[in-house]
Amino acid sequence: MKIEIQHAGLMAQYNNIFLEVIKNCLTEEEIEIVFEDHNYLIGSGFFINNYNISNSEIGDPNTFLETHSPTAPLVEHPPTYNRTDIAEINKLLSGKQINESQREIYNKIVDKFFNPNEVLKKSVSDLLENHKIDQSKTLFTYFRGTDGAYERPAGSVPFWAYIPFIRKFIESGGDTIIVQSDAGHFYYYIMDWLWKEYPHIRVVIFDEINLPNTTWKFISEKTTSDNFYGEYHNERIKQQPVSVNEPQTHTEHMFSGFYENNEQFSLLWTSIALIASKCEFYVGNKSNFSIFAGLYRKNNHNFANLDASLKIEFESDFLTKEEWKKDKEMKESRPQEPRDIWYTE
């Protein structure tokens, strides 16, 4: 059986594999994943199928939703339509939050279909080595600031919602923060806040990905100025060297001229997602990147995913919701009742 994958974004394509596999399981037949998107990947991609795991082990075709949808195709396939596992993966792809009750199914899909090939392994290893990253002491922060192919502003949380997590991480002994986003203002505000509050902390940005867009590239103050930050300039650029100020387009790699081909970009973006998933701590907002990082991680330990209403899906000993609420940044920045996250005055 061949499943062809094509979607607006690379991470969405990876996430869609989970849906397509669940829909076609349980089955004794082998499944071949084929990418059919010239914007990103053509062919088998960067992952290897583990043929020792049978597709007959994936999915739960015997558990159904309690409430039957009135739009279900009653005559043709009512059991398939009403399967809980299919409903939950559809909910995940739209709501961008992982239901932990389905984690066993998702983990089997990761184990079978998402085994990095040698090219991907080397890419991940090179990024970790080049940026001197110890994932056991690293917090990965990801902010999705644009929405869909139209690149309109997404309904995302304000940057300061991340701060309690960052503060807890730093004050617990963490030493490196990776900042990645498609929104320039997130880089600007988070890095400005970090320098004021914790100038000793090390910040990493994967500038190989050449964010944010075709009219702009990363600006290193090392090469553009000798005193941009005044008397602390040399100290700051050594510890937190990069500034950004513009958003990224959804498919900027296709016409940016930064990459030899689209596959090179896809390899970098996939590598960054895998690194994000294996960092000891992760905080992001609802996005396909966060979904895939959470799925590939195979658990929700030290993992937070914020939504537009500032609801936190986070179950670990890293940070509780009460700690988040009581953080001084929340008390100073978070709007008072009524809760309007866009109120900034």
Per residue in 128-143, pLDDT (tens digit) is 999 999 999 999 999 8
Show which of 79, 95, 116 is a domain's final residue: 116
User: Across residues 287-315, what is the average pLDDT?
Assistant: 84
281 and 135 part of one domain: yes
341 belongs to a structural domain = no
pLDDT tens per residue across span 28-47: 999 999 999 999 999 999 99
Would you say 220 and 242 are in contact if contact means Cβ atoms under 8 Å apart?
yes
Would you say 296 and 114 are in contact if contact means Cβ atoms under 8 Å apart?
yes
Tokens for 287, please give them. Answer: 């996005």
Query: How far, in whole angstroms, is CA 188 from its chain's centroid?
Result: 19
Instruction: Tell me the whole-structure pTM to 2 decimals.
Output: 0.85
165 and 230 part of one domain: yes
125 and 103 part of one domain: no
User: Across residues 314-340, what is the average pLDDT?
Assistant: 73
Instruction: Return the CATH number at 156.
Output: 3.40.50
pLDDT of residue 141: 96
Distance between CA atoms of 202 and 219, rounded to whole angstroms? 18
35 and 99 part of one domain: yes
47 and 77 part of one domain: yes
Show which of 101, 116, 131 is a domain's final residue: 116
Q: Strands 152-153, 303-306: parallel, antiparallel or unpaired by DSSP?
A: unpaired
pLDDT of residue 250: 57
296 belongs to a structural domain = yes
162 and 31 part of one domain: no
Burial 68-90 (b: 16+ CB within 10 A, else e): eeeeeeeeeeeeebbbbbbbbbe
pLDDT tens per residue across span 96-111: 889 999 999 999 999 9
Range of the structural domain that residue 218 is part of: 118-333
Show which of 73, 96, 116 is a domain's final residue: 116
User: Across residues 274-302, what is the average pLDDT?
Assistant: 94
The domain tally of the chain equals: 2
pLDDT band at 246 (very low <50, low <70, confident <90, very high): very low
Would you say 248 and 212 are in contact if contact means Cβ atoms under 8 Å apart?
yes
pLDDT band at 164 (very low <50, low <70, confident <90, very high): very high
212 and 139 part of one domain: yes
56 and 196 part of one domain: no
302 and 217 part of one domain: yes
160 and 27 part of one domain: no
As a whole number, the mean pLDDT across the chain is 82
186 and 310 part of one domain: yes
